[in-house]
Amino acid sequence: MTTEDPRRRIPRTDRVLADPAVHAAGAGLSDATVRGVVGAAQQRARAGEIAPEAVVDAVVAELAGRGASSLTPVLNATGVVVHTNLGRAPLSDAARQALRDASGYVDVELDLATGQRSKRGVAAREALLEACPAAEDALVVNNGAGALVLATTALAAGREVVISRGQFVEIGAGFRLSDLMESTGARLREVGTTNRTHLADYRDAIGPDTGCLLAVHPSNFRVAGFTSSVPLGELRSLADEHRIPLVVDVGSGLLTPDPVLPDEPSLSEALEAGADAVIASGDKLFGGPQAGLLLGRAEIIERLATFPLARAVRADKLTLAALEATLRGGPSPVARALHTDPEKLRERAEALAAAVGADVVPHDGRVGGGGAPGVPLPGWAVRLPEATARALRLGSPAVLPRVHDGACLVDLRCVPQSQDDVLLDAVRRALEGTR
């Protein structure tokens, strides 16, 4: 007696695609995406993992949980405000709305009154200058690295960039600013030592091949003890003496001084101290989208804006829209998280802990993103069993806690208060799944 091969019962692709449930579940997804899911389900049936009759149900289940993007929204319960692994700064409501508005056709390079082409990014530039009056002009590019590449290429390609050894910074994934600058054709002229650099070191290094002086804030580390560095005001005088530009990379994008972060340099302070151009990131303490900000003297910014490389690193319409809205809208989520009242955090943590039978412990948050290294943000966290962390990460919504000292710590600093009930449900499910 011959036994029928069950693989013969696997439905054909066209029949699966024609199924109303599959059609409904795949609405909003490309044909290629849906066909890929169908093919994967058919392959599972061929391998004997599911019955041929279960192919349609498997396809519907997979499509129902899939969006056009694979990025998963996450509740940040680590206490780290600018979390690089979570996309750094969460955008404000105003910036999110601006992104939606700018996703279609917008007047990014058009004067609607005349119908003629206009200059790109005018509104974002104006918003930056309103927020930072010390700057004469501003330019927005794709990210902080792009801003540094543009500045060093336009000012010092084939020439020397004078920089202190104590300011050679390596950020995540082994990325070194020195390698980035040398890739532009500039030559680095190191001065001083790791812990001490003097004005004379800069003066002795300046020569006919000097393109600019560069000061970089060592944002992700601190050097303590027997140290010295040269104030920007003194570097300004030296730059004037030799008629060379002074470029300052403050890194984190803090617009003005913040008492919560007393040692973090701001864009306005660097400009007031005499920088010709200041570089910062838009998606760190600035609280906006990924962008490179260049503010400074009109002559220098114009020189950078008209340099051919500026076209390759220019910001797109979505970045410009979100950046402007970040400046002109209400306080950003980053600003709120940095200035949250520790007692308010404690009340929220105690409410969550009481609802799930857990304890509240002191917990210092961090700025993150290379900003204010070592500066604690006093707060509180709910202490859960360590095994809860994985269940939280894989839950819906995904929640990222901090795992430390054999415990899962849930810090509400970066969780919007409007999401407290959602977080409570996620914690309850995670605890039930680990018991």
Contacts of 149 by beta carbon, 8 Å cutoff, 6+ apart? 180, 181, 183, 184, 309, 313
Q: Model's pTM, two decimal places?
A: 0.88
pLDDT of 371 strictly over 90: no
- 254/146 Cα distance (integer angstroms): 18
Q: Which of 339, 217, 220, 335 is nearest to 287 (CA)?
A: 335
pLDDT score at 172: 63
Q: 1 pLDDT exceeds 50? A: no
- The average pLDDT across 306-328 equals 96
Each residue's pLDDT tens digit, 178-208: 777 778 788 889 998 888 999 999 999 999 9
Q: What is the pLDDT of residue 67?
A: 79
Residue 220, pLDDT above cutoff 80: no
Examine the pLDDT at 242 and tell me if it is beyond 50. Answer: yes
Backbone angles phi, psi at 269, to 5 degrees: -65, -40
What pLDDT is stored for residue 252 in this prediction? 87
φ and ψ of 278, to 5 deg = -115, 135
Are the C-beta atoms of residues 279 and 313 closer than 8 Å to each other? no
pLDDT level of residue 370 (50, 70, 90 thresholds): confident
Is residue 182 a contact partner of residue 188, using CB atoms and an 8 Å limit?
yes
Grouping H, G, I as helix, E, B as strand and the rest as coil, residue 246 is strand
Average the pLDDT over each of 17-21, 215-219, 231-235, 298-302 and give the range with the smallest value.
Answer: 215-219
Positive or negative: CA dihedral 418, 420, 423, 425? negative
pLDDT value at 176 more than 80: no
Query: Which residue bears the tokens 């093919």?
Result: 39
**Lowest mean per-residue pLDDT among 217-221, 243-247, 316-320:** 217-221
Fold agreement between 74-84+336-434 and 92-330? no
At 261, the amino acid letter reads L
Q: Which CATH number fits domain 92-330: 3.30.70.270, 3.40.640.10, 3.40.50.720, 3.40.50.300?
A: 3.40.640.10
> Percentage of the chain with pLDDT > 90?
80
Confidence of residue 3 (pLDDT cuts 50, 70, 90): low
Neighbour-count burial for 48-84, b at 16+ CB within 10 Å, e otherwise: eebebeebbebbbebbeebeeeeeeebbbbbbbbbbe
Listed in sequence order, the residues at least 6 apart from 37 whose beta carbon sits closer than 8 Å to its beta carbon are: 26, 59, 62, 63, 66
Report the distance separating Cα 160 and Cα 191, nearest Å: 12
Q: Which is more confidently placed, 300 or 218?
A: 300
Q: Is the dihedral of CA 158, 159, 164, 167 positive or negative?
A: negative
Tell which wins on pLDDT, 3 or 262.
262
Residue 378 has pLDDT above 50, yes or no: yes
Cα–Cα distance list, 125 to 87, 108, 112, 120 (Å): 24, 12, 18, 9
Q: Are 67 and 351 in contact (CB under 8 A)?
A: no
Both structure tokens of 366: 């961090």
The Cα 265–Cα 9 span in angstroms is: 68
pLDDT digits (tens, 9 = 90+) for 66-99: 877 888 999 999 999 999 999 999 999 999 999 9
Mean pLDDT of 314-322: 97
Pairing of strands 398-404, 74-77: parallel
User: Which CATH class for the 74-84+336-434 domain?
Assistant: alpha beta
Ramachandran region, residue 149 (left: φ > 0; alpha: ψ -120 to 50; beta: rest): alpha
Torsion of Cα atoms, 72 then 75 then 77 then 79, to 10°: 90
**Domain regions of the chain by residue span:** 6-63, 74-84+336-434, 92-330
* DSSP code for 97: H
**Helix (H, G, I), strand (E, B), or coil: what is residue 381?**
strand
